[in-house]
Amino acid sequence: MTGISIDVPVDSPVSVAIALGGNLNNPAETFNNALTRLNDHPKITVAARSPWYSSPPMGPPQPDYLNGCALLETSLSPNELLQVLLETETGLGRVREVHWGPRTLDLDLLLYGDRLIESDHLTVPHPGLGDRAFVLQPLTDIAPDWVDPRSHKTIQQLLQTVDCSQIQLAVNQNPPTP
């Protein structure tokens, strides 16, 4: 961890990247509802959101996933933001039953400014960031030049190292939130 407590609010807004994933009910609608809830929080502004993409699931047999990313500005600490993300998942029907199993909504904290964070319950950048085409493709759409503080590569450079052949632009986009 470099110079930041995960529990203490920050002095000025920090740019944050999150991933959204889901494969139950209507993920596009759920994503838009999640972004609306986040934007309604007094210490979070949704600055941008990617198009939605479909991809095959990781883990047990289940329906394909819808995935996307969003950029936020927040004055919440990393731990506070994580709690808001978890509460948003729960509020929109997330039930944790099977690891990598089907879900209505998964919100992952990918990047918190240029910070490296290692704690018992939070690792930023997200440990799977550099390996997951279903995260890198939508993140490249909205933040291609963001530098991953662990690898020191841009998101665009990381995208060039993964197989995107199974990532498809989703038909159901729903109107974008902010």
Which residues does the annotation mark as catalytic?
94, 103, 106, 108
Buried b / exposed e across 39-77, counting CB within 10 Å, b at 16+? Answer: eebebbebbebbebbbbebeeeebeebbbbbbbbebbbb
User: What whole-number distance in Å separates Cα of residue 78 and Cα of residue 76?
Assistant: 6
Q: In sequence order, what are the residues at sequence separation of 6 or more whose Cβ sits closer than 8 angstroms to the Cβ of residue 120? A: none
Q: Which two tokens stand for residue 94?
A: 């997330």
